[in-house]
Chains A and B, each alone.
Chain A
Amino acid sequence: MTGTTAPAVRTEGLTRRYGGRVVLDDVGLRIAPGEFVALIGRSGSGKSTLLRALARLDDYVDGSGTVSVPDNRSVLFQDSRLLPWDRVLDNVTLGLRGPGAEARGKAALADVGLAGRERAWPNALSGGEQQRVALARSLVREPDLLLADEPFGALDALTRLRMHALLLELVAAHRPAVLLVTHDVDEALALADRVLVLEAGKVVLDHAVDLPRPRQHATPELAVAREELLRGLGVGAGLDIGGAREPGPVTA
């Protein structure tokens, strides 16, 4: 998947400190154009710090290293972060310039299944719908890089599965490079081409997931990958974490 073209994201010796504590420790990251990378790690492992560095939203943070990211990038936050005083369509087209912005916004809303809700207030939408509006806002810019910070963390399990499918579909259509931060191993394995495990500010595991999508949840290959990732996260092997041959319930 990683060809010879220049990577979309490239960091060298990326280090970030909060009050003397090293949160990111010399991270060198490459993401190819159109590649979907998931970043997992426990709370405090530095996932969000890395994402914010790539989003260039961390200018007051102490640190060193270089970050090279495309100018045309979008951030999908954990909360939908809609402006409550703007109608749905105005939220989607926020900051979008040029003629046809409105038409593009409407098309993006239709893509996430919210055609006809252009004039609704964000407060009148459900949590899942709000996050779909946020997704439309991220993708209407046709970004070269989509940075998603646990975007489905606050959604219920069923809505989350639907959002996974939607995200894959839209990413396949727009082909941005994606960095998805999550603490959910299953989510990472369901979506990503490559899963990185971050531990104490370092990438300790880089696992390519060469499986066709949509991925069945209980295949042996996924179970092996899952176990390896969980071991990388420091969750000991031997723990019953949903066996390989069990066709167990979806625990996304």
Chain B
Amino acid sequence: MTRNLAPATRDSGPERPPAPPPRENPAPGRPRRLVPRPLKPIGLLFGPVVVVGVWELAATAGWLSPRQLAAPSVAVRTGAEMLFDGELLPHLGASAQRAYLALAIGIVAGLVLALLSGLSRIGEASIDGLVQIKRAIPTLALIPLAILWLGIGEEMKVAVIAASVFVPIYLNTHAALRGIDLRHVELARSVGLGRAEFVRRVALPGALPGFFTGLRLSVTMCWTALVVLEQINATEGIGYLMTKARDYGQTDVIVVGLVIYAILGLASDFAVRLIERKALSWRKTIGS
């Protein structure tokens, strides 16, 4: 976008004639870029800003009826009002509590199962097949059974979210444990590590990158699962707010709910990435 078409004029000496119009090679001595330059983080906002701009334009021009979709500016005003009159926070709190409680349960379950399955044959024989089957069943298909077993209260919601959240944690941690470098196993034997020490010094640190991959998937997943569940017999929560707004045709409230989900998902992912970068600081990767 900001490619300088005639950089030769800048770094060429006085003896060189004015740069001819560039054709095949834009500048002698400066190789053509085959890969784009790295994007600054703020550059990622370009797409979203354009979309919101077009959306606002369409709304103010009257192409978009408020019954179909409220303008972003209206949604912002509604969101601010809801925040300041204290309507929003209890819903947000209720949702966050569900999501993070379920996430915590899912992390522990996924991790424990992955360790059992990744570090013992009998564990793998008993656990891995079951998790693979569970993985093939969509979480939402479990809701009817979950309602029959646990009712329509909080327990059911937390249980269903936890049941979907543990899967990526398990899969990625397990795969990382199975993929432990055999050379490291050999090293552990040659320096005489016992089993417990091997797990603590070699297996777990080696599986940590896999665990974090799973955690990032799970963190966004717990919010996704929440949307559907909060439409079942909830009296508070972002999902409840949005269901109610649908009944009254308040598209601005629906947009507020969507934005909150997006913010929570992105913020959670960001937090996990921060922790990950700290925990895996030994890695020298291109991305860091």
The answer on A and B forming one complex is yes
A residues near B (Cβ < 8 Å) are: 55, 57, 74-75, 77, 79, 81, 83-86, 94-96, 121-124, 137, 141
* Stretch in contact with the other chain, from B149-157, B167-175, B200-208: B200-208
Q: A57-B189, A95-B191 are in contact. List 10 more A-B contacts (CB 8 A).
A: A55-B190, A75-B187, A77-B183, A83-B184, A83-B187, A83-B201, A84-B282, A94-B188, A95-B188, A141-B191
Cβ 8 A contact of B283, one of A83, A84, A95, A137: A84
State how many angstroms separate the Cβ of A50 from the closest Cβ of chain B. Answer: 16
Query: What residues of A have a CB within 8 angstroms of the CB of B184 in the complex?
Result: 81, 83
Find out whether the CB atom of B193 lies under 8 angstroms from the CB atom of A79.
no
Chain A proximity of B253: nearest CB distance (Å): 47
Closest 10 CB pairs of A and B: A95-B191, A85-B205, A75-B190, A123-B284, A121-B282, A85-B282, A81-B187, A95-B193, A95-B192, A94-B191
Determine whether the beta carbon of B191 is less than 8 Å from that of A137: yes
Least CB separation from B184: chain A residue: A83
> Which B residues touch A96, using CB under 8 A?
191
- The total of Cβ contacts below 8 Å across the A-B interface reads 52
Indicate whether B197 reaches chain A with its CB closer than 8 angstroms.
yes
- Check B24 for interface membership: any CB of A closer than 8 A: no
Give 11 A-B contacts (CB < 8 Å), ordered by A residue: A74-B191, A81-B184, A83-B187, A83-B201, A83-B205, A84-B282, A84-B283, A94-B191, A123-B283, A124-B284, A141-B191
**A85 partner residues in chain B, CB cutoff 8 A:** 205-206, 208, 280, 282
Q: Which of A57, A121, A137 contacts B186 (CB 8 A)?
A: A57
Closest-CB distance, A102 to chain B (whole angstroms): 15
On chain B, which size bracket covers the interface? 20 to 34
Distance in angstroms from A118 CB to nearest chain B CB is 14
Is the pair B283, A74 in contact by a Cβ cutoff of 8 Å?
no
Which of chain A's residues has its CB closest to B284's CB? Answer: A123
CB-defined contacts of B206 to chain A, threshold 8 Å: 85
Choose among A75, A81, A95, A121 the residue with the greatest number of B CB atoms under 10 Å from its CB: A95
Chain A residue numbers with a CB within 8 Å of B284 are 121, 123-124
Tell me which residues across on chain B come within 8 A of A77, comparing CB atoms. Answer: 183, 186-187
Partner of B183, one of A55, A74, A81, A95: A81
- Report Cα–Cα, A81/B183, bound state, in Å: 7
In the complex, what residues of B have CB within 8 A of residue A94's CB? 187-188, 191, 193, 201
Task: Tell me how far the C-beta of B279 lies from the nearest C-beta in chain A, rounded to whole angstroms.
Answer: 9
Instruction: Flag if B190 contacts A74 (CB, 8 Å).
Output: yes
Give the residues in chain B near A122, CB-CB below 8 Å: 282
Interface residues as binary, B244-288 with A (CB distance below 8 Å gives 1, 0 otherwise): 000000000000000000000000000000000000111110000
Residue of A nearest to B208 (CB): A85
Q: How far is the CA of A95 from the CA of B186 in the complex (A)?
A: 13
Residues of the A chain whose Cβ atoms lie less than 8 Å from the Cβ of B186: 57, 77, 81
List, in ascending order, chain A residues with CB within 8 A of B282's CB.
Answer: 84-86, 121-123
